[in-house]
Amino acid sequence: MREKENIRFEVNPMEREDFDKIERDAARAKRIKTAVIHILLMLWALVVLFPFYWMILTSLKSYGAYNSEYVPKLFTTSPTLMNYRDAFTAVPLARYFANTLLFTVLTTALMLFVTVLAAYAFARLNFRGKNLLFTLFLALMMIPTELVIITNFVTITDLGMRNTFRGLILPSVTSVFYIYLLKENFELVPDELYKAAKVDGTSDLKYLFKVMIPICQPTIVTIVILKVIECWNSYVWPRLITDDEAYFLVSNGIQEIRENGFGRENIPAMMAAVVVISVPLIILFLIFHRKIMAGVSRGGTKG
């Protein structure tokens, strides 16, 4: 048997030094690039977060201390929580929270029910005119929001549902964008699973709840979170459809606080109310921001 000869490659010392120098330069350039990116991100974070810091700082200042500052200060030596107590006593802020919570929960639940069924029908069921219907459905996204609000206002008024939770909820129980997002995500599930399920005699609804929803859970969670944020921040529609304080949400309650609560000049108390209203969404986003980004990126990628 013929023995293999050991082949040794000798590298010229000068070439090795040049190679090492190139590696060091590349590593240094990468470190510099990373440092510059992190510095820019930190500066941008300061720009974005500064309004929130200023809002919280102002809410911790007394009315007298705030008005005595000729030059705004970036800190306070005598913080107070009096403004937060006033936020719940000057106006029925607790009722606004309860109304918003009820509106958010019911709207999100109904929207999720409609979105899941519509997305599944467009993604898996075969019926005549499906592609044309979905194209026309997507064309609704081209209609300006202001135009939709006008038609919804007229419809709800004609049905006598102003100053009711039904009037608040019904126009928000569907979303073309969420249906499109979930439909694209449903189509990522292999067709073989659907065919195998049909061979086993599984109904479409059972396949939807047992297979599709668990697989596409990240996107569904993302839709729920985005809808909760949308409902909590809803301002224009509640302001149009309700003029009864019993149905005010936290968003249009801010205007009520400004006009009939603290007055236009009591800025610290106003900031305290805004902080109280903003905290739930900030906490929700901090907890689920990874799921939001993962769900959106997965739903928008078709492979």
Nearest residue to 169 via CA among 227, 112, 226, 110: 110
37, 170: one domain: no
271 and 141 together in one domain: yes
Judge if 32 and 88 occupy the same domain: no
Q: What integer pLDDT is reported at residue 109 of this predicted model?
A: 93
5 is a domain residue:
no
Is 138 part of any domain?
Answer: yes
Last residue of a domain, one of 22, 44, 59: 59
First to last CA, the chain: 52
Domain contains 7:
no
Residues 160 and 214 in one domain: yes
- Residue at 74 is within a domain: no
Q: What does the alpha-carbon distance between residue 268 and residue 274 come to, in Å, rounded to a whole number?
A: 10
For residue 54, being part of any structural domain is answered with: yes
The reported pLDDT for the residue numbered 16 is 64
Q: Same domain, yes or no, for 26 and 124?
A: no
Query: Residue 96: which of 267, 258, 256 has the closest Cα?
Result: 256
For position 238, what pLDDT does the model report? Answer: 87
Question: Do 113 and 232 sit in the same domain of this protein?
Answer: yes
In this structure, which amino acid lies at residue 81? L
Amino acid at 39: I
Residues 287 and 165 in one domain: yes
- In total, how many domains does the chain have? 2
Whether residues 167 and 115 fall in one domain: yes
Task: Print pLDDT tens along the chain (303 aa).
Answer: 444 455 554 556 666 666 667 777 788 888 898 999 999 999 998 998 888 888 888 888 887 777 776 777 787 778 888 888 877 777 777 888 889 999 999 999 999 999 999 898 888 888 888 888 888 888 888 888 778 888 888 888 988 888 888 888 998 888 888 998 888 888 888 878 878 887 877 787 888 888 888 888 888 888 888 898 888 888 888 888 888 888 888 877 777 776 665 656 677 888 888 888 888 888 887 887 776 666 555 544 444
CATH code for the domain in which residue 117 is found: 1.10.3720.10
pLDDT of residue 190: 82
275's tokens: 């902080």
User: What letter represents residue 271's amino acid?
Assistant: M
- The pLDDT of residue 114 is 92
> Which residue from 113, 129, 130, 112 is spatially nearest to 121, judged by alpha carbons?
130
Residue 297 sits at φ, ψ, to 5 deg, of -65, -35
Asked if 142 and 52 sit in the same domain, the reply is: no
Residue 267: domain span: 83-299
Q: What is the DSSP string of the chain?
A: -PPPPPP-PPPPHHHHHHHHHHHHHHHHHHHHHHHHHHHHHHHHHHHHHHHHHHHHHHHTS-HHHHHT-SS--S--SS---HHHHHHHHSS-HHHHHHHHHHHHHHHHHHHHHHHHHHHHHHHH---TTHHHHHHHHHHGGGS-HHHHHHHHHHHHHHTT-TTSHHHHHGGGS--HHHHHHHHHHHTTS-HHHHHHHHHTT--HHHHIIIIIHHHTHHHHHHHHHHHHHHHHT--HHHHHH--SGGG--HHHHHHHIIIIIS-TT-HHHHHHHHHHHHHHHHHHHHHHHHHHHHHHHHHT---
Domain presence at residue 3: no
Domain-embedded: residue 2: no
Q: Are residues 88 and 54 in the same domain?
A: no
Closest CA to 235 of 220, 215, 255, 218: 255
Residues 91 and 48 in one domain: no
- Note whether 271 and 83 are within 8 A (CB): yes
